[in-house]
Amino acid sequence: MDQTAEPESSRTKQQELHEAVDWHLALQDSRYTKGRRRLVQVLSDAGRPLTLPEIASHRADLPQSSAYRNLDVLERAGVIRRITHSGDHAYFELAEPFVDHHHHLVCIECGQMEDIHLDEDVEQLVDTGLRRAAERVGFTPLHHSLDLHGYCAECEADME
Partner DNA sequence: TTGCTTGCAAATGATTTGCACTGCT
Partner DNA sequence: AGCAGTGCAAATCATTTGCAAGCAA
- What span, in angstroms and rounded, lies between the C-alpha atoms of 51 and 98? 19
Out of DNA, a copy of itself, none, what residue 143 binds, judged by CB under 5 to 8 A for its kind, is: a copy of itself
Q: Among a copy of itself, DNA, none, what does residue 17 contact (CB within 5–8 Å per kind)?
A: none
Closest distance of CB 9 from a copy of itself, Å:
24
As a residue count, the chain comes to 160
Integer Cα distance of 122 and 158 in angstroms: 33
Among positions 96-155, residues that touch a copy of itself (CB under 8 A) are: 103, 105, 107-108, 114, 116-119, 122, 125-126, 129-131, 133-134, 137-153
Q: Residue 9: left (phi > 0), alpha (psi -120 to 50), or beta?
A: alpha
What string marks each residue from 78 to 97 as x (binds DNA by CB under 7 A) or -? ------x---xxx-------
User: Which one among 24, 70, 79, 113 touches DNA, defined by CB under 7 A?
Assistant: 70
The partner in contact with residue 129, picked from DNA, a copy of itself, none with C-beta cut-offs of 5 to 8 angstroms by kind, is a copy of itself
> How many Cβ atoms from other residues are within 10 Å of residue 40's Cβ?
23
Please tell me whether residue 72 binds DNA under the rule CB under 7 A: yes
For 81-105, b/e burial (b = at least 16 CB within 10 A) is bebebeeeeebbbbbeebbeeebbb
